[in-house]
Amino acid sequence: MKTVYFDNNATTKVAEEVLAEMEPYFCQFYGNPSSMHTFGGQIGTKIRQAREQVAELLGCDPSEIVFTSGGTESDNAAINGTLAAVPNKRKVITTRIEHQAVLAVCRELENHGYVVVELAVDKDGQLDLNELQENIDDDTALVTIMYANNETGVIFPIDKIAEIVTSRGVVFHMDAVQAVGKIPLNLSKCHIDFLSLSGHKLHGPKGVGVLYVRKGTRLSPFMLGGHQEGGRRAGTENVPAIIGLGKACELAAKSIKEENDKIKQLRDKLEDAILKRCPDARLNGDKHNRLPNTANISFEYIEGEAILLMLDKFGICASSGSACTSGSLEPSHVLRAMGVPFTAAHGSIRFSLSRYNTEEEVDYTLEKLPSIVNRLRELSPFVAK
Amino acid sequence: MWDYTDKLKDHFFNPRNVGEIKNPDGVGEVGSLACGDALKLTFELDENGRIKDAKFKTFGCASAIATSSVLTEMIKGKMLDEAAKITNKDIADYLGGLPEQKMHCSVMGREALEAAVENYRTGGKKKHELEGNIVCTCFGVTDKEIERVIRENNLTTVEEVTNYCKAGGGCGGCKGEIEKIIETIQGDRVKQPIHPSPRKSTKLTNIQKIQLIQQTINEQIRPALRADGGNIELIDVDGNKVIVAFRGMCAQCQLAEFTLKDVVEAKLREFVSQDLYVEEDKDSAQQPHNHRG
């Protein structure tokens, strides 16, 4: 059975070009870039190249790139590293719909005497920027807000947010894990102090990410040991993964516009047809300010995990914000923050596409999904015959 | 990815006895849309009091649907008294086991069966009523229900209780209470709890008292307020006076006064000292956040 992979916000396929670039650095050029000999030292050139490739995609200087083990490490490092660098300020502002890698860190801070403000979102998943403005005060050490939401794909007006935050002299961290490679970004035109990204969300390998640190921004080293990454993040470099991430960024920079037109077209076709063919289905999140690849749709009166398992039987991979798939007993904190009723939150399905998806796959899914929804509705006590 | 048995998958993909019996002898409805699963069970008896037919309708995940399906299969052909003895463990065993996190589905099956039998016996149209006092407000689980799953399944940790009946799986504010129920029932057999709750000791130094107050706020109070988008900050401790400030939704909540006495003060008295009283520090409250949506 063929696999139709519509779960690209969870992880993506490693691009063939990326794998080819990585391959020699396992058995052939396995040296340590910190070594004095040529065999190891030459690897440093490749790491430098990767740093440039990432910087090119982000519109920043290569010296501002710190390689990490992924998005979660970058988020943890930015938040904790900033607070360690400004020990006299005790307030952090974030939103209720951040990824757990930010939210869990902030909530832990509360247990250590920090004041954490979680900004609310409206029914479209958008912030009230006045509320952000009102909450920034002299005690505020950091504002950490995501660029694009992983569940709904909703994009925040990051230029405006950056302007509000940095004009008050407060450090701004942006979790851009879902946005990088999907929508254009230029750090030279927008004052962001820290940015997190993850390799495996843009067709790079797992286990590698980046923390962008704007020149002049104070950050305490977050991994102590050797001198790697300018002493900020010690530990021998994950050489093949860093090289792969560099290549993935190069590919993304080249094709972001053209590919996203294609992805958006497929997403729109899938989304429009589902909403048309399945009664009591609703779209979650701001329809207009959204990643081109993500569709989050709720099917009322049925439960997400059951839908996923039936899709799985046909080889279709998606994800859900239902309680049964969240690892807890409550449905998605993002949908709940948006005020999506429980009836719809439990039955939410996220389809997230990539450049490797085809129209044929969309058609195949459209052929299977409506009957799955109907079948589960026949079982549901909340649907009148 | 849940680890489901083939039998469970079979009952999910090919559910038996779907529907509702017209003019049933017994109807049991449990769960709700908010909880994420719900089951409506109907059955019909023959002239000898044997279950002639049973049907179900279920809103829920794969294991909730499969559990409902096997339940109907298990009770069909049984005398009512015999069927009424089926436990959640019997249902799980019949499926060849359920993932731990899904055991609550089997409990829902047993509850629906009980509700349907009760409905038949009392003849009334009234819905299955909860016995005991609500412990978990997020999922509406009572102390009686928690006690029962602990006894029937020999549970010893809060995590297990959450897996079996959902209690404690929302804001987590009731975990301390669940621990106490486990201790009462299991006594010495209880494993050391994973999250030890603060304990009262006879004589606290000022430093110990403040630490315990902070710990109680972190573990017992904040999670409950968080569930409604609120928050709390400890401002100061002056003798037995604990000064706190509400944040987020709580800062402008009409019920803040109630929360202060009924939640904050009650928990601090329970976990720290009976002599404590709580005051709200309104001056330190920051500009209220405008919550919408």
Contact B61 A121 (CB under 8 A): no
Interchain proximity A310–B57, CB inside 8 Å = no
3-state DSSP helix/strand/coil percent for chain A, to nearest 5? 45, 15, 40
What confidence tens digit (pLDDT) does each residue in A233-263 have? 999 999 999 999 999 999 999 999 988 899 9
ipTM of model: 0.88
Asked if the structure places residue B74 within a domain, the reply is: yes
Helix (H, G, I), strand (E, B) or coil at B181: helix
Could you tell me the two tokens for B240?
Answer: 């037995």
Using the 3D structure, point to which of B78, B93, B122 is the last residue of a domain.
Answer: B122
pLDDT digits (tens, 9 = 90+) for A16-61: 999 999 999 999 999 999 999 999 999 999 999 999 999 999 999 9
Of B122, B146, B180, the position where a domain reaches its end is B122
B289–A379 CB contact, under 8 Å: no
Tell me what pLDDT residue B292 has: 37
Residue B67: half-sphere exposure toward Cβ, Cα within 13 Å: 36
Q: Does a structural domain hold residue B69?
A: yes
Task: Measure in Å the smallest separation between the Cα of A137 and chain B Cα atoms.
Answer: 10
- Chain B CB within 8 Å of residue A126 CB: no
Residues B118 and B36 in one domain: yes
pTM of the predicted protein model: 0.84
Residue B255: CB partners within 8 Å, gap ≥ 6? none
Side by side, the strands of the sheet bearing B277-280 are B230-238, B241-248, B277-280
My answer on whether B12 and B117 are in the same domain is yes
How many whole angstroms separate alpha carbon A270 and alpha carbon B212? 54
| Residue numbers in chain A where pLDDT is lower than 70 | 325-328, 384-385
Check which CATH number belongs to the domain holding B179 and give it: 1.10.10.1100
CA–CA min distance B68, chain A (Å): 10
Yes or no: say if B163 and B99 are a contact pair by the CB < 8 Å rule. no
Is the separation of the CB atoms in A154 and A131 below 8 Å? no
What tokens were used for A108? 């832990």
Residues B27, B103: one domain?
yes
**B36 pLDDT more than 50:** yes
Judge if B108 and B159 occupy the same domain: no
Residue of B nearest to A309 (CA): B62
Terminal Cα distance for chain B, rounded = 32
State whether B221 and B181 are in the same domain: no
Contact by Cβ (8 Å): B18, B59 = no
Q: Test B287 with A310 for CB contact under 8 angstroms.
A: no
What's the structural domain count of chain B? 3
Q: Tell me whether A139 touches chain B (CB under 8 Å).
A: no
| Residue B231's CATH number | 3.30.300.130
B285: in domain: no
Range of the domain at B167: 134-189
Q: What is the Cα–Cα distance from B217 to B267, expressed in whole angstroms?
A: 8
User: What residues of chain B have any CB closer than 8 angstroms to a CB in chain A?
Assistant: 2, 12-13, 15, 18, 29, 33-34, 36-40, 57-62, 64-65, 102, 138-139, 162, 166, 169-170, 218, 222, 229, 231, 233, 247-248, 286-287, 289-293
Q: Mind listing the domains of chain A with CATH numbers?
A: 4-10+256-379 (3.90.1150.10), 16-252 (3.40.640.10)
* Angle at alpha carbon of residue A54, lines to A53 and A55, rounded to 5°: 90
- Supply the Cα-derived Rg of chain B in whole angstroms: 23
Q: B169 and A305 in contact by Cβ < 8 A?
A: no
Question: Which tops the pLDDT comparison, B54 or B230?
Answer: B54
Contacts of A258 (CB under 8 A, 6+ apart): none
B197 inside domain: no
CA atoms of B7 and B15, how far apart (whole Å) = 11
